[in-house]
Structure 1
Amino acid sequence: MRLPEHAAHAIRRLERAGFEAWAVGGCVRDSLRGVEPHDWDLCTSASPAQMQAVFADARVLTTGLRHGTLTVLTDGGPLEITTYRTEGGYSDGRHPDGVRFVTDIREDLARRDFTVGAMAWHPERGLCDPFGGQTDLKNGVLRAVGDADTRFQEDALRILRGLRFASKLGFAIEPETAAAMRRQVHRLDCIAAERIREELTGLLCGRYVQRTLMAYADLITSALPELAPMQGCQQQNPHHLYDVWEHTVRAVGQVPAEPVLRWAMLLHDSGKPACKTVDEQGIGHFRGHPRASLALSRKLLPRLRFSSADTERILLLVERHDTPLGDNEKLVRRSLSRIGEARFRDLLAIKKGDAVGQGTSRNYVAQLFETEALLNRVLAQEQCFSLRQLAVNGTDLQALGLRGRPVGEMLHALLDAVIDGQTDNRRETLLRLARTRMEEQHDK
């Protein structure tokens, strides 16, 4: 393991001043996994005031200094350097009531959440690993540091962080750690909604998301209780091999690891349990489930403080996930006119994931690839599907004598005629058609 120069230089400066310093936490874990860390964090025996003195000539940020963290801005990137510390009580179940600065690195490591993140490394002294983090890392195990219940009582968000790590790294959660997560999961009620959203988004975008969603469905639906009815909701339908939850889990893993797509896939069938009916032949039906899923999503997304842009995009995908995009160029142009290319491609991804997640729909998947080919052909040929592409504009229609709202109405009527193949997209042709329609309206 080799430190980048800006981190090694900071350690040398601190140690020349008489203090101990180590690289710590996620950067050590990732380096031992052979993954390049995104950033580097250091810890030191120097007090906050002593750190400031050591880096008096450097560019620093002191916003975290009350909790012992100084951010040093270097050419190699920002370095967060934190004084060794232990933490007091957690009255709010999230933040320490206070911190106590200490001089022993092992005391500092003991306050951390999981053993794989409770390791430190020094260029000369090597690895400091008092809790067996390296062994757990090699074995792919996520284990709480010390008493697991205490760790999650201190900060319940660690429960979701553990699930995010499991999804990202593919690690198994050690049984007693998982049991403590379940015992303490009620404490998530104390956590800010946006922090829950961030951790769940990381989980959903993990490489091992399907495994994690299936293994820890009870923990996830504790954070998202609206989704609990999906578990065990049998579909009883020849188009589906799995219950609603397992179908959803399989579908989530089939779309690109982009947050909006993964959230839309998680929510697309959330309304199914409320819509389920069974006919006389024992076949399950879920009529109106896109509308029910949309209503549920409209409540859940604001609760988790999604941005308005992401909310709008997710809601469109949930609402339209079952709406055909078109099996010919005319219908594809019509869909493009309504939602545009970006959302069209989003919906293609959602529909492919949905179809694969059913476990039965190879023919439908093939049809979706045909729809994608139609889309690419329409775009490559620059076929008209928007007012921007129309060969006439409002000024042209005003020259014919139209004013106000009729201008927009006529433009949309002309666009519809082009999309439906009733006329070509040439200026002369469109102006002739506009004159004809104006005359027809006048005669009425």
Structure 2
Amino acid sequence: MMEQANRILTVLEEAGYEAYIIGGAVRDILMHQKPHDFDIVTSARPNTVIEVLRGQDIQTTDLVGKSFGVVVATLEGKQYEIATYRTERYGADSHRPEEIAYADTLEEDVLRRDFTVNGMAMNRFGEVIDLVGGRRDIKHKTLRTIGNAQQRFEEDALRLFRACRFVAKLDFLPTEDLLEAMPKAFHRVPGLSLERVRSELDRLMLEPAVAKGLDVLVQSRLAECSCRVVENGVAREVPILPELYHLVNLPQEKDFHEFDGWYHTLAVVSHTEPDLTLRWGALLHDVAKGMPTVRAVVNGRLTDRGHDTLGAEMTETLLTRLGYPKSFVRRVAWIVKNHMRFHYFVQNGEANEKKWIRK
């Protein structure tokens, strides 16, 4: 895909316009990873992009929409989004800009973006244009916003969830400024749609350093915010994951658990293969621990008898609230309800887990 992307850059540059690969592809190349797609920015306006590319027999469509200054080109069966330099002004909407204006320079376009590691450009000769310190942050494995962190999050509240996901995707640590700015933008989260938030959560759950991303989500208290769903024209608030925070610093019996309830949960999730059902099951397997109806002290030991059954009920409630399909909810709840049985089979070699599963 790199060769085709460079062809697009060359065609636009030879027509007299600036053009660069931008964002995640540049980051991935610098991190010695294979990019999955290539986004391009240019000084050319959308109609000019279409005219220039079609003049070189490159197929274009208007897949994203001229209102966003984006044209889609197809080369050898692969699609490339080509965006005109732009600036954005945000208003009441928590995610979409209220006004988009074309810009004249790469710098103006870069400064509207979210994180430094996503704000680098590359020309057709492979030279990196880094106006925001992205290379430095890759070297130090740091996630940093471009410009003022609070402003970036208030512009687009979905960036709060993207911050958690990129921490998990890149295995980076967020800056102190980023973490301090997050709660200051929580007032924008209720304007986000449940669909968008759920999509970010699912992507986070499948990332390599999932435990790091989940820790930011919960410890920042972002998980306790609410988003919204619109039904029959009426908006309704939907709590995201408030059930998780009580696990933070939750004591567990030291004879059986090295960590508190939350870090035990993160350890289980991080040792689970990246399957959405399994990782949600791992995240919620102890969600009922510490609840008043199950937490007790018996013979001087902390116990949570029945947390598997109550946890399954809580799992059904929260996943249904988040709009997951019934079949998915049932599978995850089954894992939560039966996770203590798996412990039994690990500890008892003579037990027949296949016979139990067939039941």
Normalised-by-shorter TM-score class: 0.7 to 0.9
**Equivalent AA in structure 1 for residue 304 of structure 2:** F
CA displacement, residues 252-284 of structure 1 (integer Å, 9 cap, x when unaligned): 111112221111100111112223332353322
Alignment-derived partner of residue 272 in structure 1 = 289
Unaligned runs of 5+ in 2: 225-239
How many residue pairs were aligned?
A: 336
The percentage of counterpart residues that share the same residue type is 33
| Distance in 2 (alpha carbons) for counterparts of 1:71 and 1:307 | 33
Do the aligned partners of 1:44 and 1:81 also contact (CA within 8 Å) in 2?
A: yes
Is the deviation greater in 154-163 or in 326-335? Answer: 326-335
Q: CA deviation at 1:209?
A: 2.6
| Distance in 2 (alpha carbons) for counterparts of 1:240 and 1:36 | 39
Do the aligned partners of 1:90 and 1:155 also contact (CA within 8 Å) in 2?
A: no
**Equivalent AA in structure 2 for residue 229 of structure 1:** H
Do the aligned partners of 2:308 and 2:340 also contact (CA within 8 Å) in 1?
A: yes
Pick closer, same or farther for the CA change 1:17–1:309 going to 2, 3 Å: farther
Q: CA deviation at 1:146?
A: 0.9
Alignment-derived partner of residue 101 in structure 1 = 102
Is the deviation greater in 32-41 or in 197-206? Answer: 197-206
| Distance in 1 (alpha carbons) for counterparts of 2:169 and 2:304 | 33
**Equivalent AA in structure 2 for residue 84 of structure 1:** Y
Larger proportion of helix: 1
Matches within 5 A, 1:158-307: 158-214=159-215, 217-219=218-220, 221-222=223-224, 223-236=240-253, 238-274=255-291, 275-279=293-297, 281-307=299-325
Q: CA deviation at 1:76?
A: 5.7
| Distance in 2 (alpha carbons) for counterparts of 1:230 and 1:258 | 23
Do the aligned partners of 1:268 and 1:321 also contact (CA within 8 Å) in 2?
A: yes
Alignment-derived partner of residue 412 in structure 1 = none
Pick closer, same or farther for the CA change 1:108–1:330 going to 2, 3 Å: closer
Matches within 5 A, 1:5-404: 5-56=3-54, 57-65=57-65, 66-75=67-76, 77-124=78-125, 126-214=127-215, 217-219=218-220, 221-222=223-224, 223-236=240-253, 238-274=255-291, 275-279=293-297, 281-323=299-341, 331-338=352-359
Give SS of 1:198's match.
Answer: helix
Do the aligned partners of 2:9 and 2:124 also contact (CA within 8 Å) in 1?
A: no
Give SS of 1:264's match.
Answer: helix
Pick closer, same or farther for the CA change 1:203–1:75 going to 2, 3 Å: same
**Equivalent AA in structure 1 for residue 223 of structure 2:** T
Pick closer, same or farther for the CA change 1:105–1:205 going to 2, 3 Å: same
Give SS of 1:335's match.
Answer: helix
| Distance in 2 (alpha carbons) for counterparts of 1:277 and 1:178 | 32
Give SS of 1:241's match.
Answer: coil
CA displacement, residues 91-150 of structure 1 (integer Å, 9 cap, x when unaligned): 211110121011211100010000111111102482221111111111111111111111
Larger proportion of strand: 2
CA displacement, residues 185-233 of structure 1 (integer Å, 9 cap, x when unaligned): 3432222223222222333333223344445532353341121211122
| Distance in 1 (alpha carbons) for counterparts of 2:326 and 2:153 | 32
Alignment-derived partner of residue 236 in structure 2 = none
Q: CA deviation at 1:20?
A: 1.3
Pick closer, same or farther for the CA change 1:138–1:332 going to 2, 3 Å: closer
Q: CA deviation at 1:237?
A: 5.6
Q: CA deviation at 1:328?
A: 7.9
Give SS of 2:34's match.
Answer: coil
Q: CA deviation at 1:298?
A: 1.2
Give SS of 1:64's match.
Answer: strand
Do the aligned partners of 1:269 and 1:293 also contact (CA within 8 Å) in 2?
A: yes
**Equivalent AA in structure 2 for residue 221 of structure 1:** A
Pick closer, same or farther for the CA change 1:305–1:277 going to 2, 3 Å: closer
| Distance in 1 (alpha carbons) for counterparts of 2:303 and 2:351 | 31
Alignment-derived partner of residue 230 in structure 2 = none
| Distance in 1 (alpha carbons) for counterparts of 2:144 and 2:49 | 32
Task: Give the structure-1-normalised TM-score.
Answer: 0.71
Alignment-derived partner of residue 416 in structure 1 = none
Task: Give the structure-2-normalised TM-score.
Answer: 0.86
**Equivalent AA in structure 1 for residue 358 of structure 2:** S
**Equivalent AA in structure 2 for residue 126 of structure 1:** E
Do the aligned partners of 1:231 and 1:243 also contact (CA within 8 Å) in 2?
A: yes
**Equivalent AA in structure 2 for residue 40 of structure 1:** F
Give SS of 2:47's match.
Answer: helix
**Equivalent AA in structure 1 for residue 35 of structure 2:** P
Unaligned runs of 5+ in 1: 339-444
**Equivalent AA in structure 2 for residue 29 of structure 1:** R
| Distance in 2 (alpha carbons) for counterparts of 1:88 and 1:212 | 28
| Distance in 2 (alpha carbons) for counterparts of 1:331 and 1:135 | 53
Q: CA deviation at 1:155?
A: 0.8
| Distance in 2 (alpha carbons) for counterparts of 1:70 and 1:201 | 28
